[in-house]
Homo-oligomer: A and B are copies of this chain.
């Protein structure tokens, strides 16, 4: 193990090709690539618009079991599978989310894969990248400023200042901003009121950018944002205070997908990154649909485990964008199976077939859930050096009993050579034409029933509870014409239940709906079933203390 290189060492040793060469592989002329340095580029909107009549490639979703502290390697597998497909002769593009800046200064950086399955340049991607998140921050906060300015100058729209729903955002982990009183200091500064900041990835603007098909759609959705309510409870929209045009201008460049490359010089689109709890947790629709026009295979991922990520990918992103996924890959690890089987983190190094077998229940539930969407499933066992052959075989045997296959993948250590088998299996499933994708529930189902359907079918809950106020709110939105929207579940990612400590495959639990929120611009109803943190804090010894430039000008401590 002594000669194992760190992710950053591997990334720095990468032989990157000029980004115009990567674009050329996809048939993108250099004048349609907007460079950001020599290794990043945006694909311009005109080129994207011109591809609309082309045939789509196959869409592969990479999802996972419920995350455990053992780590599953979902992004690593997404990147590895993209490289694997290219290796076996399929033109493939990997589509993943952009990293949020704030958390890099807290505990961890790195949302760009790992080992020999990474996307580069990793430093840039964990810092400002191409400025998309900064643009989202600006657009969000322009709307915030316009709201208080509107009230300051006479409140022509009669916004009830107690019922302003729009907060501010910052791409920073800053708990001091969670809850503030603003507009203090006298007459020149406005009307004091309670408000606060969320982290930028939690902004509805982020969700909107990721679901919009073009700038026109973006502007319409931004205009549809509900910023608050009047005393008669009627909603006030962003367009009512004429914010949509300027917000769109701020987001014009951010709407264009970013092209980078894997360590093996294959194309990757890295674009957008909405929260996976109060939003849908997938990269942008523009990136995915553009990739489908340019490649035989598009490999993308969804946030958290399949109970949240895949469900939202299918029921929100695919439904809204008309996407038809061909295969779903569920990532699991032997270590995570053992944790689900009751083993503590410190004991993961010891072989424990019994725990593996027990923990497989979690994986099994996800396999069966994903099949409900009509999408063929294959399990990827992301290999760790401590895994024993018997443990791996136990997972394979278990998955076989579900009528599916589990494939051992060594892309972390070996790059695309280690994931050829999975690539072949994915191609076999995709080209079999077995996929018959359909969302879990129809558009016209009442909102509460949609929640109920997800809770029963996906979480295996026995019932959902909600106060009358919650039910009344859902009915009110249905009356206002929002009943056709999908629901976006905000639940702990660690369990099928709302109790993060309940691993495995619990059933018969109760899902309490604490609060519902309408993201009218993004186009979904957020259903909150627990404590949802939308502005993280920093730990006692934040990683920022160790981040600096060394004598060679390299960044230390970011990863």
Given contacts A131-B134, A245-B546, A252-B549, 17 further A-B contacts (CB under 8 A): A128-B131, A134-B137, A141-B172, A141-B174, A145-B538, A146-B544, A149-B175, A152-B175, A152-B176, A175-B183, A175-B188, A180-B180, A180-B181, A180-B183, A188-B537, A219-B549, A246-B545
From B34, B134, B557, contact of A134 by CB (8 A): B134
CB of A353 within 8 Å of the partner chain: no
Contact with B along A174-215 (1 / 0, CB 8 A): 111111111111001110001010000000000000000001
Q: What is the minimal beta-carbon distance from A205 to any residue of chain B, in angstroms? A: 14
Contacts of A548 in B (CB 8 A): 219, 244-246, 248-249
From B38, B141, B153, B542, contact of A146 by CB (8 A): B542
Instruction: Give 10 nearest A-B pairs by CB, closest first.
Output: A245-B548, A179-B185, A134-B134, A246-B544, A148-B176, A145-B174, A242-B545, A246-B547, A179-B184, A35-B35
CB of A492 within 8 Å of the partner chain: no
From B37, B137, B215, B542, contact of A35 by CB (8 A): B37
Closest to A540 in B: B153
In contact, B185 and A149 (Cβ under 8 angstroms)? no
In contact, A127 and B250 (Cβ under 8 angstroms)? yes
CB of A170 within 8 Å of the partner chain: yes
In contact, B549 and A248 (Cβ under 8 angstroms)? yes
Q: What is the minimal beta-carbon distance from A225 to any residue of chain B, in angstroms? A: 15
Q: What is the minimal beta-carbon distance from A154 to any residue of chain B, in angstroms? A: 8
Q: What is the minimal beta-carbon distance from A312 to any residue of chain B, in angstroms? A: 27
In contact, B145 and A176 (Cβ under 8 angstroms)? yes
In contact, A138 and B180 (Cβ under 8 angstroms)? no
Closest to A193 in B: B176
In contact, B549 and A215 (Cβ under 8 angstroms)? yes
Q: What is the minimal beta-carbon distance from A174 to any residue of chain B, in angstroms? A: 4
CB of A105 within 8 Å of the partner chain: yes
Alpha-carbon separation in the docked complex, A176 to B142 (Å): 12
Count A-side interface residues using an 8 Å CB cutoff.
74
Q: What is the minimal beta-carbon distance from A38 to any residue of chain B, in angstroms? A: 7
Alpha-carbon separation in the docked complex, A251 to B545 (Å): 16
CB of A268 within 8 Å of the partner chain: no
The A interface, classified by DSSP as helix, strand, loop or mixed, is mixed
Q: What is the minimal beta-carbon distance from A170 to any residue of chain B, in angstroms? A: 6
Given the known inter-chain contacts A105-B246, A249-B558, please indicate yes or no for A538 contacting B177, CB distance below 8 A: no
From B184, B242, B244, B538, contact of A149 by CB (8 A): B538
Q: What is the minimal beta-carbon distance from A249 to any residue of chain B, in angstroms? A: 5
Given the known inter-chain contacts A182-B180, A183-B175, A553-B215, please indicate yes or no for A544 contacting B189, CB distance below 8 A: no
Contacts of A250 in B (CB 8 A): 127-128
Within 8 A of B (CB), among A235-273: 242-246, 248-250, 252-253
CB of A227 within 8 Å of the partner chain: no
From B138, B152, B171, B558, contact of A172 by CB (8 A): B138
CB of A277 within 8 Å of the partner chain: no
Alpha-carbon separation in the docked complex, A134 to B200 (Å): 13
Q: What is the minimal beta-carbon distance from A340 to any residue of chain B, in angstroms? A: 29
Alpha-carbon separation in the docked complex, A141 to B553 (Å): 23
Alpha-carbon separation in the docked complex, A145 to B106 (Å): 11
Given the known inter-chain contacts A145-B176, A190-B176, please indicate yes or no for A101 contacting B549, CB distance below 8 A: no
Within 8 A of B (CB), among A126-159: 127-128, 131, 134-135, 137-138, 141-142, 144-146, 148-149, 152-154
Alpha-carbon separation in the docked complex, A6 to B547 (Å): 47
From B128, B141, B196, B546, contact of A170 by CB (8 A): B141
From B45, B168, B174, B190, contact of A144 by CB (8 A): B174
CB of A555 within 8 Å of the partner chain: yes
Contacts of A31 in B (CB 8 A): 38
Contacts of A47 in B (CB 8 A): none
From B128, B152, B558, contact of A253 by CB (8 A): B128
In contact, B185 and A189 (Cβ under 8 angstroms)? no
Closest to A151 in B: B176
Q: What is the minimal beta-carbon distance from A344 to any residue of chain B, in angstroms? A: 27
CB of A289 within 8 Å of the partner chain: no
Closest to A45 in B: B553
Contacts of A549 in B (CB 8 A): 215, 219, 245, 248-249, 252
In contact, B176 and A105 (Cβ under 8 angstroms)? no
Contacts of A384 in B (CB 8 A): none
Given the known inter-chain contacts A149-B538, A176-B190, A181-B181, please indicate yes or no for A245 contacting B547, CB distance below 8 A: yes
Within 8 A of B (CB), among A83-142: 101, 105, 127-128, 131, 134-135, 137-138, 141-142
CB of A224 within 8 Å of the partner chain: no
CB of A283 within 8 Å of the partner chain: no
Given the known inter-chain contacts A38-B34, A181-B184, A538-B145, please indicate yes or no for A243 contacting B176, CB distance below 8 A: no
Closest to A184 in B: B179
Contacts of A45 in B (CB 8 A): 553
